[in-house]
Structure 1
Amino acid sequence: MTAVKIIKVLGTSEESWEAAAEEAIERANQSVEGIRGIEIEDWTASVEDGQITEYKATVEIAFPVQG
């Protein structure tokens, strides 16, 4: 049986929620080995003058615990 750790990462993008989620995964991949899955927990955005200025994706990232 493998133990799995889950962390939350917030990704941001000026383009889209999908790009924000991808940014979160790319950043996590720099310091976490063996990412096996993700779950998008929340989509949010910053708004100025009625326009979205920044998309945000809160992503749960799962990876096996090294032992």
Structure 2
Amino acid sequence: MGVVKVIEIMGNSKVSFEDALQNVVEETSKTIKDIKSVYVQDMQVTVKDNQIDEYRVNAKVSFGILQD
């Protein structure tokens, strides 16, 4: 029987939501192996001088846990 763990990660980007999400996956995969899926829970932007300054995502990353 497999077990999946879910962690919540926040990512950001000056480029786009897609880039912010890619940053979540890239950074998480440096320490977490066997990522199964990413669920975008929330998206938001920060605004500076009436322009979008930063894209932010709050995501849930699920990954498999090895069992003996």
Question: TM-score band, normalised by the shorter chain?
Answer: over 0.9
Aligned residue-pair number: 67
Structure 1 unaligned regions, length at least 5: none
1:24 aligned partner: 24
2:57 aligned partner: 57
Write out the 4+ residue segments of structure 1 that deviate beyond 2 Å after TM superposition: none
Normalized per residue, which structure has more strand? Answer: 2
CA distance in 1, matches of 2:47, 2:66: 41
TM-score normalised per structure 1: 0.93
1:9 aligned partner: 9
Match of 1:11, SS? strand
Aligned-pair identity in percent equals 28
Q: How many Å apart are 1:41 and its aligned residue? A: 0.6
TM-score normalised per structure 2: 0.92
Query: How large is the Cα RMSD of the aligned pairs?
Result: 0.9
Structure 2 unaligned regions, length at least 5: none
Q: How many Å apart are 1:38 and its aligned residue? A: 0.9
CA distance in 2, matches of 1:14, 1:61: 22
